[in-house]
Amino acid sequence: DAGVIQSPRHEVTEMGQEVTLRCKPISGHDYLFWYRQTMMRGLELLIYFNNNVPIDDSGMPEDRFSAKMPNASFSTLKIQPSEPRDSAVYFCASSPGTSSADTQYFGPGTRLTVL
Amino acid sequence: SQQGEEDPQALSIQEGENATMNCSYKTSINNLQWYRQNSGRGLVHLILIRSNEREKHSGRLRVTLDTSKKSSSLLITASRAADTASYFCATGARGGSEKLVFGKGTKLTVNP
């Protein structure tokens, strides 16, 4: 298996632009997680899905952020409009969900820079 | 709020020495996991210890869990330069949630 795939790996955009981050989880995994990592705040869970349904979006910072999972093999995290404080590394992770708080498998991340 | 807090924040040792990192947490857990992150990469799962376990080994890794003190430690024996990375503990809460809450990590540097 190729593991969790994220694209793009790097994104540089200007304030006010729309940004879309993409993730393909490991086939057969029922759970998908979006995280944001910064030096100041560490690794924060933004939202997670179970069988394509959003379960907990309490970590989504504000209405500018939205996430979708239209099918089991694809998810997007969208920021519209983007702001400089959104600059961070965004990770997608998936887990089989065979037991509570199962091992998570992380993608390589998308490094977002908003100018 | 963050569940796990690692200690120390940074650790620098010589190759061949042992490295010990600690993690404290606040509420009841289902399990505790340790992950490693190399610079510029995603996190990689190292080891999982369940709340009813006290110690677990995997290769050069040894993890202990003390639920009465709400703490865990990760020991890397005979460290290598390739062990240089950040190490995170993550806790899964009781109650069936799939969420993991990560600490801010310990940055380990192993000098050759």
| Residue A2: per-residue pLDDT | 82
Distance (Å) from the C-alpha of residue A16 to the closest C-alpha of chain B?
Answer: 26
CB contact under 8 A, A101 and B92: yes
Confidence band (pLDDT; 50, 70, 90) for A27?
very high
* Chain A stretch 36-75, residues whose beta carbon is closer than 8 A to a beta carbon of chain B: 42-43, 45, 48, 50, 55-56
* A39-73 residue pLDDT tens: 988 999 999 999 999 999 999 988 999 999 999 99
Structure-block tokens of residue B7: 């200690």
For chain A, helix (H) and strand (E) counts, in that order, are: 0, 11
| Residue B97: per-residue pLDDT | 72
| Residue B2: per-residue pLDDT | 45
The chain A residue lying nearest B47, using CA atoms, is: A103
d(CA B54, CA B15): 28
pLDDT means per 10 residues, chain B with 112 residues, are: 74 97 91 94 95 96 96 97 96 77 93 94
* A69-114 residue pLDDT tens: 999 999 999 999 999 999 999 999 999 987 777 899 999 999 999 9
| Residue B30: per-residue pLDDT | 87
Q: What sign has the CA pseudo-torsion B76, B77, B80, B82?
A: negative
Distance (Å) from the C-alpha of residue A108 to the closest C-alpha of chain B?
Answer: 5
Q: Is A94 on the interface with B (CB under 8 A)?
A: no
Q: Does pLDDT of A19 surpass 60? A: yes
Distance (Å) from the C-alpha of residue A88 to the closest C-alpha of chain B?
Answer: 12
| Residue B21: per-residue pLDDT | 96
Sequence-separated (6 or more) residues with CB below 8 Å from residue A23: A4, A5, A6, A32, A34, A74, A75, A76, A77, A92, A107
Number of C-beta neighbours around residue B43 at 10 A: 28
| Residue B95: per-residue pLDDT | 67
| Residue B1: per-residue pLDDT | 43
Residue A41 vs residue A15, higher pLDDT: A15
| Residue B83: per-residue pLDDT | 97
CB contact under 8 A, B45 and A101: no
